[in-house]
Amino acid sequence: MRAAPPRGRARRGRAQRWTAVAFLAPLIVYLLLFYAYPLYRNIELSVHDYTPRAFIQGNPEFTGLENYLKILSDDAFLSALRNTALFTLGSIAAQYAIGLALAVFFHRSFRLSAALRAMFLVPWLLPLIVSASTWSWMLNSENGIVNAALRAFGIGQINWLTSPDTSLLAVTIANIWLGVPFNLVILYAGLQNIPADLYEAAGLDGAGAWQRFRHITFPLLRPVSMITLLLGLIYTLKVVDIIWIMTRGGPADASTTLAIWSYREAFGTGQPDFSPAAAVGNLLILIAFAAGLAHVRLQKESA
């Protein structure tokens, strides 16, 4: 049958292929325009020396990997990398732990649990500028409510945002608060998919609450947990707004992450430095990409 298809069918097959391509085309054009081109442009920016003059006149000097070398050898790089690691890992670990605890808590539906759960989503609904500004007021050294509360317990003034020892911690706390709802929602949805009869059976076998969590909830939640952590990682790596609003990456460079560094080079000073900013941005993309690959790898292993 396949050896000698009638002519009409061949024609129809070709037409079908064209239809398929045509239906795909909008998507491909969209991907090229909004994903491939920006990525290409970012790489192009990072391997040239785009001063404002070169940016306007369109004649940047090709410098190869010089921007990357400059960044890797900069004193600020190691501290920014360390800050990024602390900020990202600290944030997602705490967000996940708190989100999971709350999801398990809300899973046993009780009166008002829906209303309470809805309230936990508030951080998600607030515009970032509002929550970040509110956090920076609360953490103000002299007049913040946090220090006022601590004073009531006899703890002296902590310069949350203005001391190099605590500013990274302060922005991490604010970011954890922001990320809990996302973890809560996804993990809660994941919990709904765990069959109730498993718990029943475990209960009959005499498993306690902790054992049920340890041997049923946690393992069965693994795929959902992994995607939550991956999304959290990618999202947190590129956080700029909350840190920028609260500390500007300061004092000095104490809370400067790679994302903040990139933003500051490009838009934070009087003179835009697009090329190093793009280079830092590309490093971030690489890190996120590596995390994505690790995720795929882990998923294959567990499957």
Evaluate whether 159 touches 166 at the Cβ level (below 8 Å). Answer: yes
User: Which tokens hold the place of 164?
Assistant: 């190099």
User: Between the CA of residue 231 and those of 58, 112, 239, 242, what are the distances in Å?
Assistant: 37, 29, 13, 18
Of 82, 240, 78, 285, the residue nearest 249 (C-alpha): 240
The least distance separating other proteins from the CB of residue 260, rounded to whole angstroms, comes to: 10
Residue 51 CB, nearest approach to other proteins (Å) = 8
Of 32 and 116, the one with the shorter C-beta distance to other proteins is: 32
Least Å distance between CB 263 and other proteins? 12
Q: Which is nearer to other proteins, 230 or 280 (CB)?
A: 280
CB of residue 98 to other proteins, shortest distance in Å: 27
Nearer to other proteins, 218 or 267 (CB): 267
- Between residues 52 and 203, which has the closer beta carbon with respect to other proteins? 52
Orientation of helix 222-237 relative to helix 167-192, angle to 10°? 150
Residue 60 beta carbon to other proteins: minimum distance, rounded to whole angstroms: 11
Coil, helix or strand at residue 78:
helix
Contact 67, 276 (CB under 8 A): yes
User: Could you tell me which of 151, 148, 129 has the C-alpha nearest to residue 140?
Assistant: 148
Q: State the Cα–Cα distance between residues 191 and 106, nearest whole angstrom.
A: 10
| Shortest separation between residue 286's beta carbon and other proteins, angstroms | 25
Q: Which of 170, 22, 175 is nearest to 92 (CA)?
A: 175
Task: With residue 303 as reference, give the H or E element that holds it.
Answer: none
Closest distance to other proteins from the beta carbon of 130 (Å)? 17
- Residue numbers at the binding site for other proteins (CB under 8 A): 11, 15, 18-19, 22-23, 25-26, 29-30, 33, 51-53, 55-58, 136, 140-143, 157, 159, 161-164, 246-254, 267-272
What distance in Å separates the CA atoms of residue 290 and residue 167, rounded to the nearest whole number?
A: 28
Nearer to other proteins, 19 or 193 (CB): 19
Shortest Cβ 76–other proteins spacing (Å)? 9
Q: Which amino acid is at 206?
A: G
Q: Looking at beta carbons only, is 95 or 257 nearer to other proteins?
A: 257
* Cα 36 to Cα 25, 33, 68, 278, 287, distances in angstroms: 15, 6, 21, 15, 18
Residues 191 and 217 sit within 8 Å (Cβ to Cβ) = yes
Nearer to other proteins, 161 or 242 (CB): 161
Paired strand residues for 62:
48
**Of 142 and 301, CB closest to other proteins:** 142
